[in-house]
Amino acid sequence: MTLWQLVIPVLVGIVLAFVWWAGKAMLEGAREGVQEANEELAQEKTEREAREAEQVANRQQVVETAALSLGEAERFALNLRAPFAQLWIQIFEDAASGRPLEYFYQFTPPAGKEDELRRSLVEGWEITDQTSVMSSLAWLLDSGHRTPYQAVRQHLQADGRTSDLNKRLAAVVRKWEREVGEVGGLAFDLARAVDIAAQGVALGYLSEAQGWRVLAQCRQVARDAAFRDWAHYGQSFRAGAEFWKSGGVIDGVRNKGYAQTVRWLLEDADSPWVRDPWPPASQVLEQQRPADTEGVRATLH
């Protein structure tokens, strides 16, 4: 056996041992690197979640502060417009500040959003000043769509025939009779009245005192009605909305959106309807502001 025959296996063994050691070292280094990276990612995730939790807690505190600045009576009145307030909150939402849920408990929208309200009042109601806002409110409080709704309902109860009725309106009333009964579409009128009053105050068409007088009147109408709870009120809102407009593609999309909004208000923990359930008739609602029964009709003169 030559020297090379003895040396070569030793050299190969040394090389293989070195390769194995180097590979092991690299693998351990890679594992350590992955572990460090995972730890950094976990730390970043923990810090991000902590920041998000703090932001959520801060936003919840803002909302709760806004709610507690009002008495039970004022919150109840504003909650009558909650289906519209929820839609406005979705419009006002942005990535920086999130959803301004405090709008459920105030007249004023987030800064810079007044033009959204102004355009809505012009396009939907031709409201541009105090006279036009008070005229719309007077119609909603005196009649609205609940009066023709009840006329159709009474006709159906009298003889059940629809030959003398608008077939679409008769179909809507029949569809919702079991769910809403005698209150009909009253909630849709009340929600619009409160929403218009709130927007009127925000845009300077009404004073805050005038706005609260309108809301006090809406609150009294709601409490005098036969609503059982917010679920009943939400169904009445949907019935009134469909009585107002239904049948077309756009109407269907809008009314589906109303249905989703009412469902959110009845189920979500952030909902003002969940926070403040419908008060029993015997409950006296605590007020932050003195009672004022002048109402919108008195302010028209």
pLDDT for 214-270, tens place per residue?
999 999 999 999 999 999 999 999 999 999 988 788 888 999 999 999 999 999 999
Residues in contact with 110: Cβ distance below 8 Å, sequence separation at least 6, in sequence order: 92, 97, 100, 103
Q: What is the reported pLDDT for 22?
A: 63
Residue (of 277, 227, 294, 301) closest to 72 by Cα position: 277
Q: What is the reported pLDDT for 298?
A: 44
- Tokens standing for residue 104: 């459920």
- Exposed e or buried b per residue across 229-239, where buried means at least 16 C-beta atoms within 10 angstroms of its C-beta: ebbbbbbbbbb
Note down the domain range covering 93. 69-299
Q: Which amino acid is at 220?
A: Q
Q: Which residue has the tokens 């109407």?
A: 251
The answer to the question of residue 133 being in a domain is yes
The answer to the question of residue 98 being in a domain is yes
Residue 14, beta-bridge partner list: none
Residue (of 118, 110, 116, 71) closest to 276 by Cα position: 71
Distance CA 122, CA 287 (A): 33
Q: How many CB atoms are closer than 10 A to CB 282?
A: 5
pTM: 0.80
The answer to the question of residue 212 being in a domain is yes
Rg of the chain taking only CA atoms, in angstroms: 32
The answer to the question of residue 201 being in a domain is yes
Sign for the CA dihedral angle at 127, 120, 122, 148 comes to negative
The answer to the question of residue 260 being in a domain is yes
Residue (of 278, 91, 288) closest to 199 by Cα position: 91
Q: What is the reported pLDDT for 97?
A: 76
The answer to the question of residue 8 being in a domain is no
Under-50 pLDDT residues of the chain: 293, 295-301
Residues in contact with 43: Cβ distance below 8 Å, sequence separation at least 6, in sequence order: none
The answer to the question of residue 47 being in a domain is no
Distance CA 100, CA 60 (A): 10
Burial classification of residue 96, based on how many CB atoms lie within 10 Å of its CB (0-12 exposed, 13-18 middle, 19 or more buried): exposed
Q: How many CB atoms are closer than 10 A to CB 67?
A: 19
Distance CA 193, CA 212 (A): 12
Q: What is the reported pLDDT for 95?
A: 74
The answer to the question of residue 164 being in a domain is yes
Residues in contact with 187: Cβ distance below 8 Å, sequence separation at least 6, in sequence order: 80, 222, 227, 233, 234, 235, 236, 237, 239, 240
Domain count, the chain: 1
